[in-house]
């Protein structure tokens, strides 16, 4: 059993490494060759395969190309990435392998980026309050990528100056202007701290999942 687990982890590391090389080269045909078997297992209901697929999409920024063609603001990009991961989790069963996975993912990401644009048009500014659903999506996404314990640990390790705005934004769902007012700091400072805090949390969670921490049951 231990030998099987060791072999599986080596296979995961090799897949991660090969996708990273292909991503650096812009070789999406190679990415498809590597990732389609995993996507097909995820589509068939294999939960560990889906977890791994989501990790790879996030780590190697496989959805960002489509998103950045439509969005410029980094906060909007981050929101669209999270929404794309949630949509991928919900829709993976519809992936039948007839199209390239990266093409299929591109369409999902593009649709979520357009949703961000539409949402922003419905509010006075990108800092409007029509964001109440984001907190729930972040919580659900966190349970897919890592256990709740890993998320709590990652948040606890943040500098309080980063932890508080991240929690206010991604857990409580406050908009950036409200956070700036509550913390009595400039709006751009809030954006910078949230971006940096999210990055550190993601790095901590990815390090935990790749070290072999068991997923939450």
SS3 content of the chain, % helix, strand, coil (to 5): 75, 0, 25
CATH number of 131-217: 1.10.10.10
Q: Indicate the length of the chain as a whole number.
A: 217
Query: For 154, phi and psi rounded to 5 degrees?
Result: -65, -40
Predicted local confidence at residue 121, as pLDDT: 61
Predicted local confidence at residue 214, as pLDDT: 37
The segments of the chain whose pLDDT lies below 50 read: 1-7, 122-135, 139-140, 142-143, 145-147, 209-217
Q: Which of 75, 166, 139 is nearest to 113 (CA)?
A: 75
Predicted local confidence at residue 146, as pLDDT: 45
Predicted local confidence at residue 149, as pLDDT: 60
């Amino acid at each position: 059993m231990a030998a099987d687990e060791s072999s599986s982890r080596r296979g995961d590391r090799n897949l991660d490494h090969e996708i990273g090389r292909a991503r650096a080269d812009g070789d999406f045909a190679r990415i498809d060759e590597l990732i389609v078997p995993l996507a097909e297992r995820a589509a068939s209901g294999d939960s560990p395969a889906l977890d791994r697929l989501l990790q790879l999409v996030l780590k190697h920024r496989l959805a960002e190309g489509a998103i950045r063609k439509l969005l410029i603001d980094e906060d909007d990009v981050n929101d669209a990435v999270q929404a794309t991961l949630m949509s991928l989790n919900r829709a993976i069963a519809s992936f039948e392998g007839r199209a390239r996975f990266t093409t299929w993912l591109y369409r999902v990401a593009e649709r979520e980026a357009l949703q961000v644009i539409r949402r922003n048009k419905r509010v006075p500014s990108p800092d409007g309050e029509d964001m109440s659903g984001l907190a729930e999506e972040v919580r659900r996404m966190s349970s897919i990528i890592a256990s709740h314990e890993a998320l709590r640990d990652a948040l606890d390790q943040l500098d309080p100056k980063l932890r508080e705005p991240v929690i206010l934004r991604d857990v409580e769902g406050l908009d950036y202007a409200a956070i700036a007012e509550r913390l009595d700091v400039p709006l751009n400072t809030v954006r910078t701290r949230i971006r940096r805090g999210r990055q550190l949390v993601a790095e901590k969670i990815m390090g935990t999942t790749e070290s072999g921490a068991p997923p939450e049951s």
